[in-house]
Each structure stands twice: as structure tokens, then as C-alpha cells.
Amino acid sequence: MKKILIAHNSQSGNSKKLAEEFAENYKDIFEVDVKPIEGINEQDIATIHGLILATRIEAFGADRKMRAFLERIDTYREEPIPKIGVFYTHSMKWKKFFKKGMDKTMGKLNIFKNNYPELLEVRVKGMKGSIIDGQEEKISNFIKNLKSYIEN
């Protein structure tokens, strides 16, 4: 089975909860791990086929620790990771610029060449969540579409 890693830096649980939903849906065809970014080592990155970045928005952009994590793991392998997916959780109305910094960081790194182009942003209540109802369909469509991107 191909290995998939879902990395998060969840502080209040929203991106972790979604990461686990992805894992639940992927475990029939992939070997899936959900891990906090600080626990991810060179070995984890060296052998994966897919990486999903469960990213929290903080101060109008992708969490800085997630971006620093991307820079750290770029040195962990020579070849680009075959399949990359990203999703975001946030509390304010979504603004395109929230993902600008993340795109910039990924754009300059060698291992992020095969990014799934679709965007999933999931809105939460208040500054800490929980996930606002009514987004289930877009979440499950994204999970399904990303799965087939990673598989093929």
C-alpha cells in the first residue's frame, strides 16, 4: 500500500479532526498516518507517496509553524513528493490572500512540485471552532477528489 502522511499543527482541534476524517476515508487503499508537525522526521518523509497539509489560518495567513515545517522537510528527500494536498481551517470569511504565503513557501521548495490544484477551506465558529455546519458536502467531495488524484 502507498503511504500517505497527513501533517497538522492543530491547536484547538479543528484541522486535526478533519485530518482524521481524511484518514478514515483513505485507509481502505492507503497506509495513512496523521501526525503533528513536530513529530515528523526524515524517515516519515523519505518514503511517502502523498502528503496532506492540514493548515490552520493564523494572523491572516497560513500558520508560520506549518511554513517553517515545509522548509525543514524540503531537505529530507531529493525527489519531489509524488502527490501533495492542502486544506485550511479558518474563522473569518475566506480571503484569497490567506493562502498566499503558503503558496509562496511551497513554490520555492523542491519537494512540492505536484500540488493538487483544488482548494478546501473550512470555516469554524469564533477563533477556536467548532466546524460550522453546512460544509459537509464540499468536505466530502474534496476528500473524494483528492483521493483519486493521489491514487492515479
Ligand X SMILES: Cc1cc2nc3c(=O)[nH]c(=O)nc-3n(C[C@H](O)[C@H](O)[C@H](O)COP(=O)(O)O)c2cc1C
- Nearer to ligand X by C-beta: 80 or 101? 101
Report the C-alpha gap between 27 and 138 in whole angstroms.
20
100-107 and 64-73 are packed helices; what angle lies between their axes, rounded to 10 degrees?
Answer: 10
- Nearer to ligand X by C-beta: 15 or 105? 15
Report the C-alpha gap between 66 and 102 in whole angstroms.
9
- Please give the grid coordinates belonging to residue 62: 497560513
* Contact criterion met (CB below 8 Å) for 140 and 111: no
- According to DSSP, residue 95 is labeled -
Tell me the site size for ligand X, rule CB under 6 A.
20
Binders in 2-41 for ligand X, by CB under 6 A = 10-16
Q: Which stretch binds ligand X (CB under 6 A): 45-53, 64-72, 87-95, 139-147?
A: 87-95
Report the C-alpha gap between 106 and 48 in whole angstroms.
17
CA angle centred on 26, ends 132 and 93, rounded to 5°? 25
Please pick, from the candidates 1, 68, 92, 119, the single residue that binds ligand X as defined by CB under 6 A: 92
Q: What x-and-dash track marks residues 122-141 binding ligand X by CB under 6 A?
A: --x--xxx------------
- Nearer to ligand X by C-beta: 37 or 124? 124
Binders in 99-118 for ligand X, by CB under 6 A = none
Q: What does the binding site for ligand X look like in residue numbers (CB under 6 A)? A: 10-16, 56-60, 89-92, 124, 127-129
